[in-house]
Structures are given as structure tokens and as C-alpha cells.
Structure 1
Amino acid sequence: MKKFISTVKNIFSIEDLRIRIVNTIGFLVVFRLGSYIVLPGVDPNQLEGSSEGIFGLIDTFLGGAFSNASIFGLGIMPYISASIVLQLLTVGVPYFQKLQKEGESGRKRINQITRVLTILITLAQGIGYIKATIPSDAILVSQVLFMFSSLILLTSGTMFCMWLGEKITEKGIGNGISMLIMIGIISNLPGAILGEVVSKGTSGALLLIIEFFVLFFVVVGVVALTEATRRIPVQYAKQVVGGKVYGGQRQYIPIKVNASGVMPIIFAQSLMFVPALIAQIWSSESDIANYIGSTFSNPTSWQYNLVFALMIILFTFFYTAITVNPEQIAEDMKRNGGFVPGVKPGAPTADFIDNIISRITLPGSVLLALVAIMPAFAMIAGVGNQFAQFYGGTSLLIMVGVIMDTLRQIESYLLMRHYEGMMKSGNMKNNPSNYAVA
């Protein structure tokens, strides 16, 4: 406790870091306040409340703004969708590959295209959002006027959320976009805990303690999965420049066991609602359709979780393949005079790295699938539906990832000012500054 208090004092004694933390808190407060501002022309008393299914997942990310018919009702989700589309285009379209290689000018051009695509996606999603989530009884003005004004406000709200995320990244601490998602998820945690405590009552105190005990170890496991890396040793050849010797050091390239992050779960979660949607269309004509609809609408059924887990494993391999390029890593190493001991530079090095990625991706994908279906096991064990969402899945992975990234940034500020770090060793495990950048 004494070391913790000392670390907090050190953090707030650094003026730049203190200002960044205050800025971050201020931007997050603005974001949370905006989630309670209802679209003009809507009677909030007529809203149906919490959403279910994929809408419930989005509502969790937005901290209730989705179900509140807020001006931030779509939040930064259209921006994330646009970023994913651009990322996939960068892999398969030569024009975007060229932009990516043009350095700063190329990145600015990609950012401009991402913003335009975000506006288009927001307009498209806004129409579906208004029709699907806002009952006609809750609309107090004409439908045409409400649709027009709401699309403008939802688009403006999304762009404002993007601006908040960029300002957090620039003037705050942590990744702004990820921080906005995390604060939306965390805002649901107090209500979930309170609901679980009330539902268990005094008679279920022991069961409640066991639930928190299990949750602690689940969080520890997710942290281990998020931070686990396979270090590839890299030896740099000695070079004499101006009478000085450079290189000759052994460094490491960290390859993450879960290099794809939460994207496989997001992709799989989106597709898991397709069978139930199709079955709903044909439900009146087929018993099989009724069976499929009821099965895939139940997140605790073994069929749902089996298909969900298999899709996550497949998407993990797919996403890792398009985001981690062994040939590019090997080429960068060769250009910088680096080589893996015992492996020839060039194509053999690329094959060596590719084999390592393939070997660690399989256990990583299986563990990621297990984390994704943990909420289902929690619900089967008797944990409340809302509280069970924090036993795994996208919510927990995002929370852990953002918190660890923020702690790394705070750690770097402390070490730069010659303060003792947040860990006893003075360096957080897997700090990127400890490794070679290939």
C-alpha cells in the first residue's frame, strides 16, 4: 500500500502526465453526459429500455446510449466499421497498399477516406437504428422531419465522438477510441454488481463470494492471454560508422499469442445473429426453421457455443494472416542488418516466423474461444445475465487491453522522469520498448 501511494504521488508530481490524466477524465465526462441527451422529438418515457442480441452488445459498448436514443446513439461504432473496411482493403486492393507505403502523406489520405466512409456508414446505420430501436409512439413530431433531423444529429454525434477520441490520444493518456469503448463498458459494471448483490440477497452471500473469486481468476487469465508473447531472438550485425561500432546486440521480436485481439469475437458475434434472423423469416413455414431460431437465439445452448467457438478459431487464423506479415518482418530485419540466429535471412526467415505464428495461433485461438463462451457458462451456473457479461467475451478483453495499454503509457512517463515504475522490476512485462522493432 505504501508503494502504491508513493506511485500515485509520483504520477501527479509530473505536470505533463497530471494534465493528460485530467484532460482524459474531462473528455470522458463529456462523452458520458452526451449519452444521456435524447434525440429531439423523442419521448424518453416511451422507449423500451435495454436492447437484446446484437443491439444489446452495441448498447454495452456505448454505455446505454444506444437504448437511450441518444445523440451519441451510434457512438464510434461506424468509425470502427469504416476502419475495419479500410484495413481489409489495404490487404487486397493495390491502391490502398500503395497509400500505406507512402508514409505520413499516405496515412493522412487513408484517414480522410476513413472519415468520409464513416459518415456514409453512419447515415446508413442511422436509418436502421431509428426504425429498429425507436417506437413510433415515442416520436412526437412528423416522421419525415424526425428522420432528417435525427440523421444529422447522429452523424454529428459520431463525428464528435471521433473528435473526442482523437483529443484523448493527442492530449490525454491512452488510445482515445479504445478508451471511449472501455468507459461505456465500465459504466454498466456498477449496475451489474448491484443487481447481482440484490438478486442473491443475504442467503446467497457465500455464492456471491465464489462468483467474485472466479471472476478474479478469469480476469487474471485474460490478462495472461492478452500479454502472452513468443519472443524471437534477433542478432544485429556490427557496423562501423564514422569510427564507431553500432549493432552487435541481441534483441527480440515479440509475437503475440493473441495477435488478432477482440476482432475474431466481433466478427463471429455479428454472424451468429444471421441464422436466427433467417429462421425468423421462415418460422411460420418450417419446424426446422423454428428449431434453428430457438437454438441460435439462446446463448447458453451447446449448439450456439460450439458454432461460436469454431467461428472464432477460424476468424483468428484469418485475421492474424492479414495483419501479421512474416515476409515484411523478414525484409525489415534484413534491411536493418538483423537475422535470427541459425536461420538464413530472407525467405528462410519468413518461413521460420510463419511457422512460429502458426504454432502459437492455434492455442491462442482456442483460449480466445474459451474466453468468448465463458459468459454462457457463467449464466448456466446461475450468474445474472448482465453480470455474466464481465466473465469473458468482448467486454472483458477490451477492458483488459485498454487498461494494460494505459498503464504502459503511465509507466513510460514515470521511467522517463527517473521515478520507480509501477512494477517492482521497474518495467512492465512485455513493454514494447524492451524489444526490437522490425
Structure 2
Amino acid sequence: MASRADNIASNLSLANFSKATELKNRIWFTIGALIVFRFLSFVPLPGVNPLILETLYSKTQGGILDIFNAFSGGSLQRMSLIALGVMPYITASIVVQLAASLHPALTALKKEGESGRKKLNQYTRYGAVFLTALQGWFLASGLEAYGASSGLQAVVNPGYLFRVGAVVSLVGGTMFLLWIGEQITSRGIGNGTSLIIMAGIVAQMPTFIANLFEGGATGSVSMFTIVFMIGMVVGLVLFICFMERATRRLLIQYPKRASQRGMMNADRSHLPLKINTAGVIPPIFASSLLLLPLTITQFAGKSVSQDSAAGAAIVTLNQYLGHGKPLYMLLYALGIIFFCFFYTAVVFNPEETAENLKRNGGFIPGIRPGKNTATYLDYVLTRITVIGAAYITVVCVIPEYVIAQTGMRLFFAGGTSLLIVVNVTVDTITQIQSHLLAHQYGDLIKKAKLKGRLR
């Protein structure tokens, strides 16, 4: 372990980094693309009065708009061209993945390899365009409804012309963001879409820190609260780093093969199963479903009549589903647990994994290949998913409880931002390390060839 740690430290040294010209170019390209993304978040949507937007957003806070706004780096609050961010693409990607696991035709397409993956990506883009247009239409209609009900004219010239223009602008902005993400993936350091989401979340952190210390300076926030929040964030980040790297390694044995010296050697490897296989999907889905009724009533800017039974039920539901309410946190935790198991079952197929091991001659010691291996993999995955679901629930519910007790908004959706930021950061560091290793191996091969020529 010590030698491996020293090796990693040497790979990440400044000397090796300075020699990796290609890696430096990729990093600079990624930084430039993210700067373009931040500039786009300040380009306003045509036909919207920016002076009314702050009042509009203050009235719609607490709903699903907080999720979109955090993912887009505050673009939704400013109603910019990229107000919807990459959320439509993420939703379309999740729907396509679910359909590819449930629909036989798409399942067969998924097994075709690179050509099948390209077709599924194309379907995902079509879905992203459709969802962006649909959400953009409702967004434009909501802006007009808000101005009509409250007397504040958020839209300069309401009508179908404004709606069509807003839809075209939002679709173009989202598609341009997706293109930037693809460029970061191919010409940058990878994880283009994830880096865009992380950049949007990180852009909101200075505002939170400034509000926190401003509250301490004015006396509205006690010093104990500030220290506790900073300590909690640091503790959650360390805990997330530990859990996201945690895996259950299953020993895989392969048949003995004859070596060059005539000895029979048995190959061994490990099948890593992540504790958190579902990633950040469960809290996003759970919070979206819980906050949908509140968003519908607030976003339209219309007061729900309490005379009817349906109107009274919606008002009561909105009261109980507020941030920090016991019912909200209970349903939030149950939703996270449900989607952890559901999405893990979608992304990991024990039968397919067992069949691949059997085809390659691999087996788990003490377990028969085939159906018994699939049953064992399902048993192990279910047990570690219990730990993963408990971990995500704790990370997401603790900030919600702190928000309810202190009245200060820490991160949207109860810690989902921390999960995304830490996951993307760890993946980015892994990508950089892979580039450094590739550069080091390339130098070693060149030196070996040079020595061979000299001899």
C-alpha cells in the first residue's frame, strides 16, 4: 500500500504535470469552456423584464425551481438563455436508460455495442429537445401568468410570439450547453456535462459563504452556528469521499493456464461493487416528486381557492411539504431509499454479469457459475445497497434538518449539491491522474526504444 501511495504521489507531482503538454492544453480548454458557460448564464432571455425577476424568484423559492437554478448556476433566477441548463438532457438520459432496461427492442439495441450506444445517444438528444421545448413553454406561460395575477409585468409583450421566441431561445441555449459538454468530454479532461453542473453549483457557494459571514457580522447568525455549519460541511465532504470510494470487492477465479515455464497458474481478479451504485439520482428524483405540487401552485402565481375540496387539499399539502417539516423529511428519506434500490436494479444486471463471467471462464470461489452466481451477486448487491441508501439518506436529511433549525439555506435539496460536487471532483482527479500515467508510460516506452536503438 505504501509503494502504491508513493507511486500515485509521484504521478501527481508538479514535475510530471509540467511535462504533460497535452494535459495542460486539455485543462485550459476545459477552463475556457466553463467560462463561456458562466458568460451565457448572464445573457437575458428576450422579452423579459429583469427588474421583476428577483420578486418572481422569491415567490417561487422552495420548489423544484431551486434544483434547476442550482444546476444552471443561477441562470433560472436571471432567466438567461440557459435557464433550464442541462436538466432536460439529464431527464431524457434517465428515461432512455430506464427504457433500455425495460423495453426489449431498446435492450437489444443496447447490446449492439458502439453503434447501439450512438443510437441511444441520438434518442436522448431528441428527448432533450422535446423536454426543453415543453419546459420552456410552461416557463414562458408561467411568467405571463405571474404578471397577470400580481400586477407586475414580468413579460414586456405577452403572447404567443413571446412564448415561441422563449422556447426557441431556451432550446438553442440548452443544445449549445450540450455541445460545450461534448467538447469538454472529447477535447478537455472528460465528464463534460457533469463539470457544467458542478460549475453551476460551485458558482452559488460564494453567495452562501458571503451571506453566512454577513449574518455573523450583523449578529443575526451566532458564531456557534457559523462554526457548526462549516464543520458540518467539512465532515459531510470527508464522509462522502470515503463512501463514494468504498467498494465491495468479490474475488473472481479463472481456470489454470500453462505459463511459458510449463507451470500451471490460476488468474485472479476482483469484481468491484460500489456501495453507492445509484449515485445522485435518488435524491434528485425524490426531491423533484415531493416539491412538484408546491411548484405548480407557486409558479403559476395563482392563489388556490380553498372553497373546493381539491383546493383545500393542495393548500394543506403545500403546508406539510415545506422544507424542514417532519412529513417532508420522512417522505424524502423514504423516496431516497426507494430510488436507491430501483435505480441500482436498473443499472446493474446480476444475470448479465454472471453470464459474462461464465462465458469468460470466471467464477466466484464456492459459487456455481450461472444462475447461482447471479443469485449471489443479487444478494451481495442488495446488502450493500442498504448501506448506500442509509448513507445518502443521512447526507441529504441532515442539511434539511439544519436548514429547518437555523432558517439559513445551506444547499438545495438537502445535500445533493455536495454529492454532485464531490463525485465530479473525484472523477476529475482520476481523469487527470490517468492522463499523467499515460504520459509517464509514453516516456518510458520512448526511453526503452531509444536504449534498444543504441544497443
Q: TM-score range by the shorter chain?
A: 0.7 to 0.9
When structure 1 is superposed on structure 2, of 389-398 and 108-117 the one drifting more is: 389-398
Letter in 1 for 2:282: P
What's the Cα RMSD here?
2.6
User: Which residue does 1:17 correspond to in 2?
Assistant: 23
Q: For this pair of structures, how many residues does the alignment match?
A: 414
User: Which residue does 2:316 correspond to in 1?
Assistant: 291
Q: Does 1:98 align with 2:98?
A: no
Quote the Cα distance in structure 2 between the aligned partners of 1:78 and 1:241.
Answer: 53
Aligned match of 2:88 in 58, 78, 98?
78
- Provide the secondary structure at the position in 2 that maps to 1:249: strand
Quote the Cα distance in structure 2 between the aligned partners of 1:201 and 1:317.
Answer: 45
1:27·1:164 contact (CA, 8 Å) conserved in 2? Answer: yes
2:49·2:155 contact (CA, 8 Å) conserved in 1? Answer: yes
The one-character-per-residue Cα deviations of 1:184-203 (angstroms, maximum 9, x if unpaired) are: 00000011001000012276
User: Which residue does 1:253 correspond to in 2?
Assistant: 271
When structure 1 is superposed on structure 2, of 110-119 and 48-57 the one drifting more is: 48-57
Q: 1:374 to 1:353 in 2, by over 3 A?
A: same
Q: Does 1:365 align with 2:417?
A: no
Aligned match of 1:181 in 194, 197, 200?
197
2:259·2:265 contact (CA, 8 Å) conserved in 1? Answer: no
Stretches of structure 2 lacking an aligned partner (at least 5 in a row): 1-8, 148-152, 298-302, 442-455
Quote the Cα distance in structure 2 between the aligned partners of 1:357 and 1:330.
Answer: 13
Quote the Cα distance in structure 2 between the aligned partners of 1:31 and 1:375.
Answer: 28
User: Which residue does 1:328 correspond to in 2?
Assistant: 352
User: Which residue does 2:34 correspond to in 1?
Assistant: 28
Q: Does 1:402 align with 2:424?
A: yes
Q: Does 1:411 align with 2:423?
A: no
User: Which residue does 1:267 correspond to in 2?
Assistant: 285
Q: 1:189 to 1:12 in 2, by over 3 A?
A: farther
When structure 1 is superposed on structure 2, of 359-368 and 16-25 the one drifting more is: 359-368
When structure 1 is superposed on structure 2, of 152-161 and 42-51 the one drifting more is: 42-51
- Provide the secondary structure at the position in 2 that maps to 1:340: coil
Deviation at 1:142, TM superposition (A): 5.0
Q: 1:9 to 1:368 in 2, by over 3 A?
A: same
User: Which residue does 1:154 correspond to in 2?
Assistant: 170
Quote the Cα distance in structure 2 between the aligned partners of 1:331 and 1:278.
Answer: 46
Aligned match of 2:51 in 42, 45, 64?
45
When structure 1 is superposed on structure 2, of 271-280 and 75-84 the one drifting more is: 271-280
Aligned match of 1:196 in 188, 204, 212?
212
User: Which residue does 2:411 correspond to in 1?
Assistant: 389
Deviation at 1:42, TM superposition (A): 2.0
Deviation at 1:75, TM superposition (A): 1.4
Aligned match of 1:143 in 153, 159, 182?
159
2:68·2:85 contact (CA, 8 Å) conserved in 1? Answer: no
| Bigger Rg, which one | 2
When structure 1 is superposed on structure 2, of 232-241 and 51-60 the one drifting more is: 232-241
Q: 1:247 to 1:327 in 2, by over 3 A?
A: farther
Q: 1:4 to 1:49 in 2, by over 3 A?
A: farther
Deviation at 1:244, TM superposition (A): 9.1
Letter in 2 for 1:86: V
Stretches of structure 1 lacking an aligned partner (at least 5 in a row): 420-438
Instruction: Give TM-score scaled by structure 1 length.
Output: 0.88
When structure 1 is superposed on structure 2, of 243-252 and 39-48 the one drifting more is: 243-252
The one-character-per-residue Cα deviations of 1:12-51 (angstroms, maximum 9, x if unpaired) are: 4311110110010011000110010001222212213455
2:42·2:75 contact (CA, 8 Å) conserved in 1? Answer: yes
User: Which residue does 2:453 correspond to in 1?
Assistant: none
Quote the Cα distance in structure 1 between the aligned partners of 2:285 and 2:193.
Answer: 19
User: Which residue does 1:210 correspond to in 2?
Assistant: 228
Q: Does 1:237 align with 2:255?
A: yes
Letter in 2 for 1:176: G
Quote the Cα distance in structure 2 between the aligned partners of 1:189 and 1:127.
Answer: 30
Quote the Cα distance in structure 2 between the aligned partners of 1:258 and 1:404.
Answer: 14
Quote the Cα distance in structure 1 between the aligned partners of 2:233 and 2:413.
Answer: 6
Deviation at 1:373, TM superposition (A): 1.1
- Provide the secondary structure at the position in 2 that maps to 1:139: coil
- Provide the secondary structure at the position in 1 that maps to 2:77: coil
2:82·2:174 contact (CA, 8 Å) conserved in 1? Answer: yes
Letter in 2 for 1:285: S
Letter in 2 for 1:350: A
Q: 1:405 to 1:140 in 2, by over 3 A?
A: same
1:390·1:396 contact (CA, 8 Å) conserved in 2? Answer: no
Deviation at 1:253, TM superposition (A): 0.9
- Provide the secondary structure at the position in 2 that maps to 1:398: helix
Q: 1:139 to 1:194 in 2, by over 3 A?
A: same
1:61·1:181 contact (CA, 8 Å) conserved in 2? Answer: yes
User: Which residue does 2:329 correspond to in 1?
Assistant: 305
Letter in 1 for 2:308: E
Q: Does 1:59 align with 2:69?
A: yes
Quote the Cα distance in structure 2 between the aligned partners of 1:352 and 1:187.
Answer: 44
Letter in 2 for 1:293: N
1:229·1:256 contact (CA, 8 Å) conserved in 2? Answer: yes
Deviation at 1:243, TM superposition (A): 9.7
User: Which residue does 2:377 correspond to in 1?
Assistant: 353
Quote the Cα distance in structure 2 between the aligned partners of 1:367 and 1:333.
Answer: 30
The one-character-per-residue Cα deviations of 1:246-292 (angstroms, maximum 9, x if unpaired) are: 97222111101110011111111111024546898574435665433
Quote the Cα distance in structure 2 between the aligned partners of 1:176 and 1:339.
Answer: 36
Aligned match of 1:132 in 128, 142, 166?
142
Quote the Cα distance in structure 2 between the aligned partners of 1:410 and 1:125.
Answer: 36
Quote the Cα distance in structure 2 between the aligned partners of 1:246 and 1:128.
Answer: 67
| Identity over aligned pairs, percent | 38
Q: 1:95 to 1:29 in 2, by over 3 A?
A: same
Quote the Cα distance in structure 2 between the aligned partners of 1:282 and 1:326.
Answer: 51
The one-character-per-residue Cα deviations of 1:325-359 (angstroms, maximum 9, x if unpaired) are: 01111111111121111111111111111110011
Deviation at 1:110, TM superposition (A): 1.2
When structure 1 is superposed on structure 2, of 192-201 and 365-374 the one drifting more is: 365-374
Deviation at 1:391, TM superposition (A): 9.8
Q: 1:274 to 1:116 in 2, by over 3 A?
A: closer
Q: 1:37 to 1:276 in 2, by over 3 A?
A: closer
